[in-house]
Structure 1
Amino acid sequence: MYRSSSRTRLTSLGRWGVVAGLLALSAVALTGCGLKPATSYVPAVGPGSITPLEGAEGVDLTVTSKNFTEQLLLGKIAVLAGTAAGFDVTDLSNLPGSQPTRELILSGQADMLWEYTGTAWLTYLGQDESIADQDKMWQAVYDIDIQNGITWGAPAPMNNTYALAVRSEAVAELGGITTMSELAALPVEDRTFCVESEFNSRPDGMNPMLAHYGLERGAADGVPNGNIGIYDTGAIYSATDDGACNFGEVFTTDGRLDALDLTVLIDDLAFFPAYNVAPVFFTESIEATPGLEEIFARISPKLTDEVLRGMNRQVDVDGKEPADVAYAWMIDEGFITDPTD
């Protein structure tokens, strides 16, 4: 919120050269899934259950996001919500990479974004210990970041973490498998995996995951190395669907899960860290405009894995614009209205 009384923003003018460069880059950057470049376009907004907030008129609200599909959708949801609440919204979504968005919030050059608890915990805050419990992860991140001038709002149910998925038609063939702990009961020849190179080698990836579930990589009675295929990230979904392996490493809110009818195994022994998304604010912004945090607290509970998979699918598979998908969802939920109706 660019107020003349904000010393942080006025003394950060030197940083705007960096921001301008990032924005120029984001104008031509493609999303992680190979989509068309995103723009600042959003349709006209009318109030719904989100109505003009007292004190918002004439106040700037700057929203940022990263440059992959899910973040573009969440960024547009934030832009639409802020507009319906009466703010003058500046859309700085589609920045290339996590660190630029983090820097904008830390420096007060952006007021909010949707961020993942696991990303903050492991990447920004440099913690080594993974936390699978979603509530504990959120609280741990909140407790540290509040000291950095950043406030984490209410988390959404959606948890965009790693998972293993199997093509649905093979579930019965594999004994009706539904959980990762059941992998150990399968014949060795059925324990086949498609993973990306990073997950294959990372310290919280393939090897410790197998060990966590009682399987030894390379062992004849565990998971022989020949049972593991290395693929580009985007190719894992189709390879799993085609039967190149029984189990593919996926992300739980990816729209291709539904498009290809892949079933996600339950991480019943809680290996993967929580990656719940939550609205994250520059603390001075919510202190200056009471009620801002509450707007997003009403949106968060509606953002489930199923909802995001559906929206991601509309963009990645059906080719729709993120702003249009976000707009339709916000109208369906009653948060906003179409002023032309």
Structure 2
Amino acid sequence: MGIRRNRTLHRAFALLAGAALSLTTLTACGSGDDAATGSVSDKLAGASFVIGSKDFTENIVLGQIAVHLFRAHGAEITDKTNLGGTVSNRKALEAGEIDMYWDYSGTGWIEFLKNSDPIPDPAEQFEATAKADLEKNGIRWIGPTPLNNTYALAIRSEKAAELGVKTLSDVAKLAETKPQEVTLCIETEFSTRNDGLPGMVKHYDMEIPDNQVSVLDTGVVYTETDKGETCNFGEVFATDGRIAALGLTVLEDDKKFFPIYNAALTLKEDTFKQYPAIEEVLQPVIEKLDDTTMSKMNARVDVDGEEPSTVAREWLEEAGFLGGDSGA
């Protein structure tokens, strides 16, 4: 009875949080939290930046961190966070429609640079991505953050125990012995990316019928995985606060398929050369953005229903980056 009661509370809480997040993301693009941020320095005085972000919570929060931070150092900011998916932001950056957005080293290496195999060492992965993207495309990566928002598969903890699955190799075996149990909830990008479902099933020699894969909005993936009606397994982001809130178990990527996804601010090299203080201002902030810190901020949005802009601004204030002893 205790598990059932707790799961009911988890589900009700997640549904309410999901509704709050929907309202948040509808207002995130261009709105921000426009309460005036006190001036910290004039290092970016005269600069004018258009800042984008992808359309999931963590990337919106990171975008809002840049909005508040650069504004506090004198820049004029146009907020275009929550712009869309990876492709939309990258194209907008290349076309000069935005000046910067946060991306991830694994995404750059596999999606933009078209490599098939990730580099296991995080530092080497980031260095190779940043170097190649700068040389080939004139895009600079400022980072990396310690956080690694890698893809993963998660399952309800009690169902994991019932099926005896702890790793992705276990899921592959289950697909052979009990194929009806291997039902997946995933988001659109994961369904087509080389570092997503197509690459994962190939790497693990895993066969999953198309009619057992449901493509859903990101937030719905978590709630449906928790319910266990549409799917047993869900694609998740490793730093998402809903994993703990819903009591999900993340399965081990035992054959090391998924790349390292350290976040970094991406911008054109011309922009960086014109305003090199961007890196000086941002680097101390980057160093503080580890998995635990990011998961807590993500949970404040996805579980508690707070605005991404508010969460970003308050974290910067508490860490001393908008004034105080530890500011940049």
* Same fold, judged at TM 0.5 (above): yes
CA distance in 1, matches of 2:210, 2:78: 51
What is the SS of the residue equivalent to 2:27? coil
What is the SS of the residue equivalent to 1:119? helix
Matched, 1:70 2:58: yes
Task: State whether residues 161 and 273 of structure 1, in contact with CA within 8 Å, keep that contact through their aligned partners in structure 2.
Answer: yes
The answer for the alignment partner of 1:263 in structure 2 is 249
Counterpart of 1:238 in structure 2: which amino acid? T
The answer for the alignment partner of 1:3 in structure 2 is none
CA distance in 1, matches of 2:285, 2:92: 23
Cα distance change of structure 1 residues 319 and 88 upon mapping to structure 2, 3 Å threshold: same
* CA apart distance, 1:217: 2.2
Counterpart of 1:159 in structure 2: which amino acid? N
Could you give the per-residue CA deviations for residues 68-113 of structure 1, whole angstroms, max 9, x where no partner exists? Answer: 3322211110011112222233323232444443344335554432
Matched, 1:153 2:142: yes
TM-score (norm: length of structure 1): 0.71
Matched, 1:194 2:184: yes
The answer for the alignment partner of 1:165 in structure 2 is 154
Task: State whether residues 159 and 274 of structure 1, in contact with CA within 8 Å, keep that contact through their aligned partners in structure 2.
Answer: yes
Cα distance change of structure 1 residues 249 and 58 upon mapping to structure 2, 3 Å threshold: closer
* CA apart distance, 1:298: 1.5
What is the SS of the residue equivalent to 1:43? coil
More displaced, 251-260 or 101-110?
101-110
The answer for the alignment partner of 2:203 in structure 1 is 212
Cα distance change of structure 1 residues 200 and 80 upon mapping to structure 2, 3 Å threshold: closer
Task: State whether residues 110 and 118 of structure 2, in contact with CA within 8 Å, keep that contact through their aligned partners in structure 1.
Answer: no
CA distance in 1, matches of 2:82, 2:199: 33
Matched, 1:306 2:292: yes
Task: State whether residues 131 and 137 of structure 1, in contact with CA within 8 Å, keep that contact through their aligned partners in structure 2.
Answer: yes
* CA apart distance, 1:259: 2.3
CA distance in 1, matches of 2:206, 2:76: 56
Matched, 1:83 2:74: no
Greater C-alpha radius of gyration: 1
Cα distance change of structure 1 residues 226 and 152 upon mapping to structure 2, 3 Å threshold: closer
Task: State whether residues 165 and 250 of structure 1, in contact with CA within 8 Å, keep that contact through their aligned partners in structure 2.
Answer: yes
The answer for the alignment partner of 2:16 in structure 1 is none
TM-score (norm: length of structure 2): 0.74
5 Å-filtered alignment, 1:169-188, equals 169-173=158-162, 178-183=166-171, 188=177
CA distance in 2, matches of 1:170, 1:100: 37
In terms of fraction of residues, the more helix-rich structure is: 2
* CA apart distance, 1:333: 1.8
Give the gaps of 5 or more residues in structure 2. 1-19
Matched, 1:230 2:221: no
